[in-house]
Structure 1
Amino acid sequence: MTSSNLIHGYEVVIGFETHAQLATRSKIFSRASTAFGAEPNTQACAVDLALPGTLPVMNRAAVECAIKLGLALGSHIAPMSIFARKNYFYPDLPKGYQISQYEIPVVQGGEVSFYVGDEKKTVRLVRAHLEEDAGKSLHEEFHGMSGIDLNRAGTPLLEIVTEPDMRSTAEAVAYARELHKIVTWIGICDGNMQEGSFRCDANVSVRKPGQPLGTRREIKNLNSFKFMQQAIDYEIRWQIEQLEDGHAIQQATVLFDPATGETRAMRTKEDAADYRYFPDPDLPPLYISEQWIEEQRALMPELPRAMAARFVAEYGLPEYDANTLTQSPAMAAYFEAVARACGQPKLASNWIMGEVSRRLNAEEIGIARSPVGAAQLAALIARIADGTLSNSAARQVFDALWKGEGTGEGGDVDALIEAKGLKQVNDAGALEQIIAEVLAANPDNVAQFKAGKDKAFNALVGQVMKASKGKANPQQVNALLRARLEG
């Protein structure tokens, strides 16, 4: 820990608990629907409410999601795990307990690696366990009263718990983004934070270097990366101020208020003993065979970390490019389609990370909705590579494609180049003629260049480009002009 990692002499310690809603059509122990947006209390069946005489039955698809996560994170997948009842009272918990896993979770250990700038970081995982979600309390719509919507009760979750390995807000947000990418990449969670499909709880504490871990406060239900950063930053400042003023930190669960940018205590934080865990008598142990694991392994897609390494090896990309292009399966597929079609992987990477991403971000759309298809971008890059287009002219063609002026699978690029008169001049004879005219018209710049002033050369290049109306190949202009002047 270097001094640059300290905040006012304190070391920050952060751990995460993330609830990923599993992409199953029915709930974890019943056949009730998990579809989002239904009318309140229309998707909670007798099993979800634990009415007398009902028994939970494990959802096979939820178990397969857990297996896939364990494979993706290099975890141990327990051949036998058990379910427990976590007992607490809250109005939106219909049973008075939550079915979860405690002593023996289904996924054990593993790690998540990511980059903060150029530095690689790795966060160790403690576990990922299957559990059911509770319902939802609604306060703002009822004029001083609260309403309860039990549609989410019984929705399948994986709670993914880390060691307290993160030492800054930047690391915490980067970890959350990487985990979000993994669970959506392997298809076990849709990752919709606004709908509550991916909810993060951050355990934050501070301490003087070398001291034991400080008392943590848990920031609950962070539903955007922006709010996550603001909440953790505020909590760090608040804890340091409390300690500097001589106050002790009390363990608590807190909420972040985006309107004020502050955290506020919700309740005193419970420990495991307060929940009175005991094995659920209605659910047998969960057994996962090696054959079942191997069946799921065969269905796994190429993982982002492995794909990024392949992009470096196969396409010669820098690691930064490879990691950026594997942020989503759609982005990676778009890059590969462009790179293979044009044979210029680095140019393809530059354009996708540059102009394409800039336009997508400005219009807040994903790569799947890009108006410029992979075939069109590949055709455009091919025309840059073969000298038909200058970079500035290429941007004009790209702009036209983005606006929908071209149609077809890339052939429209050549039509646009012709229609707009953007074809680059590569004819040496034509360029020699333009250069001769420019040199004759600018004797002062010629004399300055011969006197050793490089700025004069740049001025002459500019005059040649102007005379060619920007169509001259800049590399050829430089070479021919320098040969003429030095000859």
Structure 2
Amino acid sequence: MSWDIVIGIETHVQLTTQTKIFSGAPTSFGMPANENACLVSLAYPGTLPVLNKEAVKKAIKFGLAVNADIAEHSVFARKNYFYPDLPKGYQISQFELPVVNNGFLTIGDNKKIRILRAHLEEDAGKSVHGILNNQTGIDLNRAGTPLLEIVTEPDMNSAQEAIAYAKKLHNLVQWIGVCDGNMQEGSFRCDVNVSVKPSGSDKLGTRREIKNLNSFRNMEQAINFEVNWQIEQLEDGNEIVQSTVLFNPDNGETRAMRSKEEANDYRYFPDPDLLPLKITQEDIDDIRLTLGQLPEESIKKLVEDFKLNDADASIITTNKQTYEFFQSLISEGLDPKITANWIVVNLFAKLNDNELSINQSPINKDQFVLLIRRIMDKTISNNAAKKIFDLLWDDPKVDVDQSIESLGLKQVSDASAILPLVQEVIAHNQAMVEQFKSGKDKAFNALVGQVMKLSKGKANPGQVSELLKGELDKV
């Protein structure tokens, strides 16, 4: 029997405000336990929430970026449940009237992933296990941190589509400056709803929600395991029970944590301490002016202005820092295609291998500019540039020009120096010459390789090809 996979994602995006959503306590990460907890976070009697206007602005900014409707009237509600890290016994969130509705992001070949809603809420605290003789403590530093919960329709049909959506959302919220995107610190975490149904059926299957996935690798593994598990259960004649599950990255499996709550389990009602949120069209228009150029517009600009291919343009716009780095290099007069290729192929390979962001690269802009210039002016070949690049990565104080001289990497472009090498290769490789004459193009590349070898890699490959063609025409 064949099955269709159905996936929806709820993403908790921590907003980059300096203070919490309903108090003036700081949101800084990594402080000692409970350092950022305030009387509002601790739910002291008589304390009242005061809405952080900056959090609202960031929610609106996100809504505009995903072509959503911004509600001019929205309401905060109390979501009631008991948990040790929730001192009030309820979470202030939005339920029936969220601030953002009906947006979308596109992935792949222009597939639209509908965003049902994005609502503001406060984060809970954190349980810290295994302290003080294996006891559990409560850290309320995170309690009250502003979150935007972004909920999609069940529009994804594979782990690959889910990852594509999550990555695009991750890039977008960083690009527009509403979230730092740090998944290790919990700034961007996803709950993934997974179900399966017989292929072609209009009836959705029972979903299970995988909680708190904070890496794309874990998300992909969790979805694939959950899909296979659900299919096996159904094919064995068992029923799927709607539930919340956790993913264990150590064994790559999901396990049920509790039966899934419904909205009525939380007994939502409007928070009597907070007035309805009113957003004017003037507010929306003012925030729209701060939005700037979005990633998809930037891709189009790179393709149209610099003639980059779609793949390179997409990689350069993976995050705003990379895009701005590329633009800063081009402003120095560098060739866009050569520069893009070096960022995509060489720089990103090193960054990924070392799990670094582009802002953490040991090679600074000035060194990168000089290296590309030496390729452009044909002082060094691309292969020689890779050797200098590796030296720079290991020791940022390396001098590019001195290293070219000391390592003997300067490229030979003088035709009078290269021509004798070409003639020697032709004289000693008659079999290859005959193969080229009979129409085998690979033989030409092999002859170029022989000349480069004879020159110890110093000959300009373009010059070698030009001279070789001329000499072969005489044979």
Pick the TM interval, shorter chain.
over 0.9
Given that residues 123 and 175 in structure 1 are in contact (C-alpha distance below 8 angstroms), is that contact kept between their aligned partners in structure 2? Answer: yes
The aligned amino acid for 2:68 is S
Bigger shift: 395-404 or 69-78?
Answer: 395-404
| CA distance, structure 2, for counterparts of residue 135 and residue 448 of structure 1 | 73
Q: Residue 457 of structure 2 is aligned with which of 446, 455, 470? A: 470
Given that residues 406 and 413 in structure 1 are in contact (C-alpha distance below 8 angstroms), is that contact kept between their aligned partners in structure 2? Answer: no
Q: CA deviation at 1:448?
A: 6.7
Structure 2 residue aligned with 1:321: 312
Q: Secondary structure at the match of 2:131?
A: coil
Structure 2 residue aligned with 1:48: 41
Q: Secondary structure at the match of 2:205?
A: coil
Q: CA deviation at 1:459?
A: 5.1
The aligned amino acid for 2:64 is L
Aligned residues: 473
Given that residues 105 and 113 in structure 2 are in contact (C-alpha distance below 8 angstroms), is that contact kept between their aligned partners in structure 1? Answer: yes
| CA distance, structure 1, for counterparts of residue 103 and residue 127 of structure 2 | 34
Q: Report 1:191-340 matches (<5 A).
A: 191-211=181-201, 212-340=203-331
Q: CA deviation at 1:143?
A: 4.3
Given that residues 4 and 200 in structure 2 are in contact (C-alpha distance below 8 angstroms), is that contact kept between their aligned partners in structure 1? Answer: no
Pair 1:99 & 2:92 matched: yes
Q: CA deviation at 1:350?
A: 1.0
Structure 1 residue aligned with 2:341: 350
The aligned amino acid for 1:132 is E
Given that residues 342 and 378 in structure 1 are in contact (C-alpha distance below 8 angstroms), is that contact kept between their aligned partners in structure 2? Answer: no
Given that residues 400 and 406 in structure 1 are in contact (C-alpha distance below 8 angstroms), is that contact kept between their aligned partners in structure 2? Answer: no
| CA distance, structure 2, for counterparts of residue 274 and residue 183 of structure 1 | 31
The aligned amino acid for 2:140 is L
Q: Deviations over 1:457-483 (max 9, x none)?
A: 555434432332222222322332232
Residue segments in structure 2 that go unaligned for 5+ positions in a row: none
Bigger shift: 428-437 or 445-454?
Answer: 445-454
Bigger shift: 172-181 or 452-461?
Answer: 452-461
| CA distance, structure 1, for counterparts of residue 402 and residue 230 of structure 2 | 63
| CA distance, structure 1, for counterparts of residue 434 and residue 372 of structure 2 | 39
Given that residues 331 and 367 in structure 1 are in contact (C-alpha distance below 8 angstroms), is that contact kept between their aligned partners in structure 2? Answer: yes
| CA distance, structure 2, for counterparts of residue 463 and residue 235 of structure 1 | 54
Q: Secondary structure at the match of 1:139?
A: strand
Task: Identify if the C-alpha distance between structure 1 residues 231 and 142 changes in structure 2 by more than 3 Å, giving closer, same or farther.
Answer: farther
Pair 1:10 & 2:3 matched: yes
| CA distance, structure 1, for counterparts of residue 238 and residue 173 of structure 2 | 40
Given that residues 100 and 129 in structure 1 are in contact (C-alpha distance below 8 angstroms), is that contact kept between their aligned partners in structure 2? Answer: yes
Q: Secondary structure at the match of 1:341?
A: coil
| CA distance, structure 2, for counterparts of residue 231 and residue 248 of structure 1 | 20
| CA distance, structure 2, for counterparts of residue 206 and residue 299 of structure 1 | 41
Q: If the length of structure 1 is used for normalisation, what is the TM-score?
A: 0.91
Task: Identify if the C-alpha distance between structure 1 residues 97 and 344 changes in structure 2 by more than 3 Å, giving closer, same or farther.
Answer: same
| CA distance, structure 1, for counterparts of residue 30 and residue 447 of structure 2 | 65
| CA distance, structure 2, for counterparts of residue 85 and residue 485 of structure 1 | 82
Given that residues 77 and 107 in structure 1 are in contact (C-alpha distance below 8 angstroms), is that contact kept between their aligned partners in structure 2? Answer: yes
Structure 2 residue aligned with 1:5: none
Q: Secondary structure at the match of 2:46?
A: coil
Q: If the length of structure 2 is used for normalisation, what is the TM-score?
A: 0.93
Task: Identify if the C-alpha distance between structure 1 residues 274 and 395 changes in structure 2 by more than 3 Å, giving closer, same or farther.
Answer: same
Q: Deviations over 1:55-110 (max 9, x none)?
A: 11111111111111112111111111111111122222211111111111011111
Bigger shift: 15-24 or 45-54?
Answer: 45-54
Q: Residue 160 of structure 1 is aligned with which of 142, 146, 150? A: 150
Q: CA RMSD in A?
A: 2.3
Q: Secondary structure at the match of 2:138?
A: strand
Task: Identify if the C-alpha distance between structure 1 residues 445 and 224 changes in structure 2 by more than 3 Å, giving closer, same or farther.
Answer: closer
Q: CA deviation at 1:318?
A: 1.2
